[in-house]
Amino acid sequence: EIVLTQSPATLSVSPGERATLSCRASQSVGTNLAWYQQRPGQAPRLLIYGASARATGVPARFSNSGSGTEFTLTISSLLSEDFGLYYCQQYDSWPLTFGGGTKVEI
């Protein structure tokens, strides 16, 4: 099973600042990695997949870089609606796995 390790566990930022979230895979997943956002009390929402493609309706301030085992989600200028939990997920091999999440808080 591919283990995804997200860091940091909690990221404290101010509105307007840049946020950088990391996801490390225990073995290569190529570019078969997705990022999800989960606001409190809501279902997760797909943000980015294929390592760099934004899902429908996702603003350009969200971007991803990396391939293989190291990935970074960047939120260029945080808005209040961006605070919440962020998960990475690999869909390269079975079982599909999620990272433990990063909480982005004010």
Partner 1 sequence: EVQLVESGGGLVQPGGSLRLSCAASVFTFSRFAMSWVRQAPGKGLEWVSVISGTGGVTYYADSVKGRFTISRDNSKDTLYLQMDSLRAEDAAIYFCAKSTSIRYPLDSWGQGILVAVSS
Positions in the binding site for partner 1 (CB under 8 A) = 1, 32, 34, 36, 38, 42-46, 49-50, 55-56, 87, 89, 91-92, 94-101
Burial (CB count within 10 angstroms: exposed 0-12, middle 13-18, buried 19+), residue 88? buried
Choose between 42 and 77: whose C-beta lies nearer to partner 1. 42
- Which amino acid does the sequence have at 37? Q
CB of 44 to partner 1, least distance (A): 6
Tell me whether residue 17 or residue 96 sits nearer to partner 1 (CB atom).
Answer: 96
Distance CA 22, CA 95 (A): 21
Nearer to partner 1, 44 or 66 (CB): 44
Phi, psi of 36 (to 5 degrees): -125, 150
- Residue tagged 């225990």 (tokens): 26
CB of 48 to partner 1, least distance (A): 9
